[in-house]
């Protein structure tokens, strides 16, 4: 009879683990969006396509943090330098996000991950309200 109970326990543990990961991912997304919102002193336009894209990006980003999986990509320092010059305020905000992620989750953002954030932040803030 215990043989029938084992799958339930395993499934229960798996479901609990998934719920914990989802809660952690939600907290990461909330932390990041709070930093951006406070840094720019603006509320998000949650109807904007840019908001949707930003949240979608953050979901995958939070998933990598929770699973401790670094972003795999080809970093291009020259492109990052150009983006930093063009979007310096977004870069400063992204550095605050990177600092929080490092302190709170012991996860270091790659330059490519920073680049994605630097690109998304101005788009969402330009589409947002005051």
Q: What is the CATH number of the domain that holds 83?
A: 1.10.1790.10
Q: What are phi and psi of 62, to 5 degrees?
A: -65, -35
pLDDT the model gives residue 15:
62
As given in the structure block, the two tokens for residue 50 are 């840019």
pLDDT the model gives residue 18:
82
pTM: 0.80
User: Structurally, how many domains does the chain consist of?
Assistant: 1
Counting residues of the chain whose pLDDT is more than 90, the rounded percentage is 55
pLDDT the model gives residue 11:
46
Burial environment of residue 60 by CB neighbours within 10 A (0 to 12, 13 to 18, 19 or more)? exposed
- 80 closest CA partner among 54, 46, 113, 47: 113
Q: What is the pLDDT of residues 25-53, one digit of tens each?
A: 999 999 999 999 999 999 988 888 989 99
* DSSP conformation class of 87: T
Q: What is the pLDDT of residues 94-105, one digit of tens each?
A: 999 999 999 999
Quickly count: other Cβ atoms within 10 Å of residue 105's Cβ: 16
Distance in angstroms between the alpha carbons of the first and the last residue of the chain? 62
Task: Supply the range of the domain harboring residue 111.
Answer: 2-126
């Amino acid at each position: 009879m215990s043989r029938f109970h084992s799958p339930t326990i395993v499934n229960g543990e798996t479901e609990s683990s998934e719920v914990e990961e989802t809660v952690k991912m939600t907290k990461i997304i909330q932390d990041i969006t709070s930093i951006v919102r406070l840094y720019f002193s603006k509320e998000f336009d949650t109807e904007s396509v840019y908001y949707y894209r930003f949240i979608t990006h953050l979901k995958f980003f939070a998933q990598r943090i929770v699973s401790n999986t670094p972003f795999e990509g080809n970093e291009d320092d020259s492109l990052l330098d150009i983006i930093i010059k063009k979007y310096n305020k977004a870069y400063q905000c992204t550095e605050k996000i990177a600092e929080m992620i490092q302190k709170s989750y012991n996860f270091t953002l790659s330059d490519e991950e920073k680049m994605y954030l630097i690109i998304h932040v101005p788009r969402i803030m330009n589409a947002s309200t005051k």
